[in-house]
């Protein structure tokens, strides 16, 4: 099982693999198969059916983290701090402490660059391990008018580098970099000593993260360009359930094999 030290040491020696999980069943399937499980607030989209992550709250994150930890006994687990749960240092410390006290999550993740570095510092100064998240930040999508790819010009790349360095200096032990041009992902990864974990950030990152329901093909509504589907989950499930319905309606199930 990874630790904060081994995650940091992975930089330049081993690619890190992160996947999201929201419940015990899937977390148990992912346990020990990946380096890090993220209880992402993306659960609000793929689990809860909402358009964005903003209505995920602390109670939901704690509930799902507890469930994930029941399944993922041997994997490093990170929990997202939900929208508006870290608006200042005091609120952030109160809410992150609640996550630490009520779950065994090993770290929390916070969206934001330079402007949130003081929050990261407060948490790390109080023994709460922090993963940063820069680039396209889903919690900012509503105020920014949509999901905008970042790092499109040299000024924007420099901003990302400054953000990553500020988060690193504040004590984060790794950074998720989402939705940036590959060149920007490379520049950020080269600019910091802590590992960068990319999602839609290209191949030069120190690791990759995907949302489980995207990569296993369960979420059909929309497929971002960066998602590789490793399974056609939705097709398989729908076909299986249609078959079950046919079998029950026709009297084929249960046959002698399935009765006491």
Out of 167, 211, 215, 216, point to the residue binding ligand KIV (CB under 6 A). Answer: 211
- Smallest distance, Å, CB 44 to ligand KIV? 8
3-class DSSP assignment, residue 139: helix
Cα(107)–Cα(131) distance, integer angstroms: 7
The footprint of ligand KIV on this chain (CB under 6 A) covers a number of residues equal to 11
Buried b / exposed e along 147-163 (16+ C-beta atoms within 10 A) = eebbbeeeebbebbbbb
Strands 36-39 and 207-210: unpaired
Considering only residues 209, 214, 215, 216, which one is a binding residue for ligand KIV as defined by CB under 6 A? 209
Residue 191 CA to its chain's centroid (Å): 22
Residue with smaller CB distance to ligand KIV, 229 or 243: 229
Indicate the residue among 42 and 189 with the shorter CB distance to ligand KIV: 42
* x/- track of binding to ligand KIV for residues 52-91 (CB under 6 A): ----------------------------x-----------
Tokens 């983290």 belong to which residue?
Answer: 65
Q: How far is the CB of 176 from ligand KIV (least distance, A)?
A: 5
Q: If we measure between CA atoms, which residue out of 104, 166, 159 comes closest to residue 132?
A: 166
Which residue among 10, 176, 194, 215 contacts ligand KIV (CB under 6 A)?
176
């Amino acid at each position: 099982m990874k630790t904060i030290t081994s995650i940091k040491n992975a930089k330049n020696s081993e690619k890190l693999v992160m996947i999201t999980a929201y419940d015990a069943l899937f977390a148990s399937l992912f346990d020990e198969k990946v380096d890090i499980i993220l209880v992402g607030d993306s659960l609000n989209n793929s689990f809860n059916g909402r358009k964005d992550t903003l209505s995920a709250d602390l109670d939901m994150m704690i509930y799902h983290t507890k469930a994930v930890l029941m399944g993922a006994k041997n994997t490093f687990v990170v929990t997202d701090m939900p929208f508006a749960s870290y608006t200042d240092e005091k609120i952030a410390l109160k809410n992150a402490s609640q996550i630490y006290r009520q779950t065994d999550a090993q770290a929390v993740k916070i969206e934001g660059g330079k402007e949130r570095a003081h929050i990261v510092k407060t948490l790390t100064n109080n023994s709460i391990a922090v993963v940063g998240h820069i680039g396209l930040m889903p919690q900012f999508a509503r105020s920014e008018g949509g999901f905008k790819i970042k790092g499109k010009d040299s000024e924007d790349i420099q901003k990302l580098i400054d953000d990553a360095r500020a988060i690193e200096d504040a004590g984060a032990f790794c950074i998720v970099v989402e939705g940036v041009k590959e060149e920007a992902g490379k520049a950020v990864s080269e600019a910091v000593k802590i590992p960068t974990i990319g999602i839609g950030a290209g191949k030069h990152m120190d690791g990759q993260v995907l949302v489980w329901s995207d990569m296993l093909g369960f979420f059909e509504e929309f497929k971002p360009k960066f998602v590789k589907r490793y399974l056609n989950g939705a097709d398989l499930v729908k076909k299986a359930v249609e078959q079950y319905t046919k079998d029950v309606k026709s009297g084929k199930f249960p046959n002698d094999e399935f009765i006491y």
